[in-house]
C-alpha cells in the first residue's frame, strides 16, 4: 500500500505541475515565454538545434539542483519542488509548442512521450532523495547511490533517443 501511495503522489505532482504550466501559459496570453521554454528545451523555440552541451546541461541541471537541495536538512523540503518545477515547465513548453502550430504527429510521436518520461524520471529522482514522510525511516539512512546513478543514466539515454527521433522526424 505504501509503495502505491508513493507512485500516486508522483503522478499527482506531475499532473498538477503540467496543468499549472498550461494554465500559466493560457493565463498570461501576451507574455513571451520563449526564453523560459528555450531553457527547458531550446529546440522548441528555434528551428536550429542548439548545442549538445547546452541541452545536456539543461537535462542534468535538474538532477544537480535536486541533489544539492537534498544535502542539507534546511533545504530538503525543496527537493520535490524541483520535480514540480520541471512538471510545470513541461506543461508550459507543451502549451507553447501547441500554440505555435507544431505538427501533431511530431508532438505526439516525439516531444510529449520523451518529455513526459524525462519529467517522471526527475520526479522519481527527487522522491528517492527526499521520500515522503510515510516511507522515511526513523534513522538517517544513506542515499541509494546506485539507484540515483541509474536514474541519471536513464535520463541521459532518454535524452539521446530523443535526439535520434528528433533527427529522424526532421521536425
Alpha carbon distance 108, 93 (integer Å): 14
38-67: per-residue pLDDT in tens? 777 877 776 556 678 888 888 899 999 999
Q: Contact, 17 vs 90, CB < 8 A?
A: yes
110-162: per-residue pLDDT in tens? 888 999 999 999 999 998 887 755 455 555 656 678 888 999 999 999 999 98
In the block, cell 538532477 appears at: 63
24-43: per-residue pLDDT in tens? 988 887 777 877 887 778 77
Alpha carbon distance 78, 117 (integer Å): 21
E strand segments, 12-100? none
> What is the pTM assigned to this prediction?
0.84
In the block, cell 547511490 appears at: 145
Alpha carbon distance 44, 38 (integer Å): 7
What is the separation, in whole angstroms, between the first and last Cα of the chain? 43
Q: Where are the domains of the chain?
A: 2-169
Report which listed range, 70-79, 92-101, 143-152, 155-164, is most confident: 155-164
Q: Contact, 116 vs 90, CB < 8 A?
A: yes
Q: Contact, 18 vs 87, CB < 8 A?
A: yes
Q: HSE of 117 in the Cβ direction (CA atoms, 13 Å)? A: 17
Amino acid at each position: 500500500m505504501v509503495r502505491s501511495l508513493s507512485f500516486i503522489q508522483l503522478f499527482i505532482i506531475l499532473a498538477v505541475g503540467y496543468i499549472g504550466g498550461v494554465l500559466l501559459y493560457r493565463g498570461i496570453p501576451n507574455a513571451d515565454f520563449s526564453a523560459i521554454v528555450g531553457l527547458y528545451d531550446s529546440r522548441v523555440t528555434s528551428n536550429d538545434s542548439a548545442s549538445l552541451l547546452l541541452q545536456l546541461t539543461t537535462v542534468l541541471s535538474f538532477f544537480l539542483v535536486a541533489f544539492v537541495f537534498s544535502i542539507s536538512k534546511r533545504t530538503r523540503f525543496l527537493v520535490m519542488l524541483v520535480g514540480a518545477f520541471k512538471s510545470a515547465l513541461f506543461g508550459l513548453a507543451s502549451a507553447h509548442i501547441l500554440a505555435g502550430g507544431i505538427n501533431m504527429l511530431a508532438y505526439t510521436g516525439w516531444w510529449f512521450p520523451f518529455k513526459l518520461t524525462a519529467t517522471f524520471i526527475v520526479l522519481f529522482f527527487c522522491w528517492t532523495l527526499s521520500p515522503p514522510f510515510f516511507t522515511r525511516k526513523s534513522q538517517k539512512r544513506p542515499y541509494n547511490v546506485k539507484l540515483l546513478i541509474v536514474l541519471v543514466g536513464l535520463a541521459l539515454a532518454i535524452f539521446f533517443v530523443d535526439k535520434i527521433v528528433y533527427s529522424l522526424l526532421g521536425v
